[in-house]
Amino acid sequence: MTAVLKLISHKLCPYVQRAVIALNEKGVPFERIDIDLANKPDWFLKISPLGKVPVLTVGTESGEVALFESNVICEYIEETQPGPKLHPADPLARAQHRAWMEFGSAILSDLWGLETTQDAAVFESKRQALIAKFARVEAALKEGPFFAGEKFSLVDAVFAPVFRYFEVFDEIRDLGMFDRTPKVRAWRGALAQRRSVRSAVGADYQQLLRAFLARHDAHLLKLAA
């Protein structure tokens, strides 16, 4: 029996995008169910202990099993689904990739602060923190076009949603985030062209992100030229 996969989602969530990209790379059919995180359905709260997306439900002969936390979901997809391998075969290289996936989560934490703060000092602090983190990423990159070279990996699936934010941010103001990281800029460009990455969000993504910034009265919007 082939497991039936359903991904509980939110249209803006970068952690959801990781799972969508991994599933797309594997060519695995799945059903995506978007919910309103401001009005979470009762059925969702019953299967998500943290009340967060993504949640992947896996249909089995004995019923549905719910998996939560994006990295756990991506690892399950990698271990159980056909298609190209998204982790290195070597255990040490695989552990390194997992560590950089965690680093991508730390970057998302700073991005949340950058996009939601109304305070100029907090904004600048987060901007500098991100510049420093991207410098660390720059030092880890090699020839490209992807994190591990020619082969797309789960690290790429983690960082693609990070870079997607800047498609909107750059239209508001050049934050100088990648001025000194040419390898990161090239990586960002390669990921933006990847079909699995482009299809991980809807056509309304940028409009929804701008509306999100407006609802938070984000300091970023005050920088518009």
Active site residues: 13
For residues 10 and 19, is the Cβ–Cβ distance under 8 A? no
Q: What stretch of H or E contains 164?
A: helix 154-172
CA distance linking residue 221 with residue 225, whole number of Å: 9
Partners of 65 in beta bridges: 58
For residues 48 and 68, is the Cβ–Cβ distance under 8 A? yes
Which of 189, 197, 178 lies closest to 145 in space, CA to CA?
A: 189
Q: How many CA atoms lie within 13 A of 139 on its CB side?
A: 5
Q: Which tokens is 24 given?
A: 């797309």
